[in-house]
Amino acid sequence: MMEASAALSLQSCPWIGSERAGRKTSGFFRFPTGFSDEKRVKTLRLGDSLWSRAAVGSRRVELKISCSRKKSRGSDNFNNSVDEALILKRKSEDVLPYLNGRCIYLVGMMGSGKTTVGKILSEVLGYSFFDSDKLVEQAVGIYSVAQIFKEHSEAFFRDNESKVLKDLSSMHRLVVATGGGAVVRPINWKYMKQGITIWLDVPLDALARRIAAVGTDSRPLLHHGSGDPYTKAFVKLSTLSEQRGKAYTNADARVSLEYIAAQQGHGDVCALTPTAIAIEEVLKPE
């Protein structure tokens, strides 16, 4: 499945190591596979909530590897990416019977790569992909989390986030990228535990570097404070980590970026590809 391969310049600093998972789910809702960003459902009803043109399914993650045939390093990168894609395909086939259609919920700090890795996972598993933040935006009719915070409040956003997770919890065969703060409400864990929860654990320094590089416009919790982008991001992320750290440990599986990097001999965690991370995630459920 070369389409689901390391897609692999999807992010300049993609993320993630590992642990264990397990759990049963209730209810049943099967989406057809193979949805793309261009293929949208006109109306999607989740529980009592109605969203128009809600994006269903994972975007086709194409193999996009820029390498020069003239350079051996480029060829090595290409071969490594293809190898990772084949490994991910094989491992996903092994784990599908265990999943038995259960949803996968990715939790972790902002910038940890939940969306990027989630799309690759959904593609290779034949699941559909949802970003809970996007569903909240569609539900309230404001297409920016930062704007929702500004016009209403964080509490308003969290209330709608819980409604979205409640609706998704009755479904099957989904990979859901949750917002960084979804873990703070115990009720959200009740919904997510209907499936399998995976914590993408990324060092704060790596997160701060990545967020500083792409900007903080879409990060409402990082709009305050002074200093350069990296320092401001690192300080706020440290505070959030203290507040949420214990909650993240409720996840069924932990995927540690530092662990994977050490195992693969990388000096910089940003050298990891999304596909390498996805491989670790499908290895965990057993």
pLDDT in tens, the chain (286 residues): 333 333 333 333 433 334 444 333 333 223 333 333 333 332 334 444 433 333 434 333 332 322 333 344 555 554 566 777 888 888 888 889 989 999 999 999 988 999 999 999 999 999 999 999 999 999 999 989 989 999 999 999 999 999 999 999 999 999 999 999 999 999 999 999 999 999 999 999 999 888 887 765 555 556 555 668 888 889 888 999 999 999 999 999 999 888 888 888 887 878 888 888 888 887 765 5
Closest by CA to 7, choosing from 73, 69, 59, is 59
Joined together, the tokens standing for residue 118 give: 């989630």
Contact 174, 103 (CB under 8 A): yes
Q: Is the pTM value of this prediction over 0.75?
A: no
What is the distance between the alpha carbons of residues 187 and 176, in angstroms, rounded to a whole number?
Answer: 17
pLDDT of residue 230: 86
How far apart are the C-alpha atoms of 169 and 56, rounded to whole Å?
15
By CB neighbour count within 10 A (0-12 exposed, 13-18 middle, 19+ buried), where does 194 fall?
A: buried
CA distance 52 to 46: 11
Contacts of 200 (CB under 8 A, 6+ apart): 15, 16, 106, 107, 108, 112, 113, 114, 117, 255, 257, 277
AA letter at 17 = G
Distance CA 285, CA 83 (A): 22
Give residue 94's pLDDT: 86
Contact 128, 57 (CB under 8 A): yes
Through-space distance between the first and last CA atoms of the chain, rounded to whole angstroms: 22
Residue 285 has a pLDDT of 59
At which residue do the structure tokens 């897609």 appear? 7
- What is the predicted pLDDT for the residue at 22? 39
Contacts 24+ apart (CB under 8 A), 49-52: 49/139, 49/163, 49/164, 49/167, 51/135, 51/138, 51/139, 52/138
Which domains, from first to last, does the chain contain? 100-272 (3.40.50.300)
pLDDT for the residue 224: 58
Is 101 in contact with 174 (CB distance < 8 Å)? no
Check if the beta carbon of residue 104 is closer than 8 Å to that of residue 198.
yes
How many whole angstroms separate alpha carbon 114 and alpha carbon 274?
10
Q: How far apart are CA 149 and CA 284, in angstroms?
A: 35
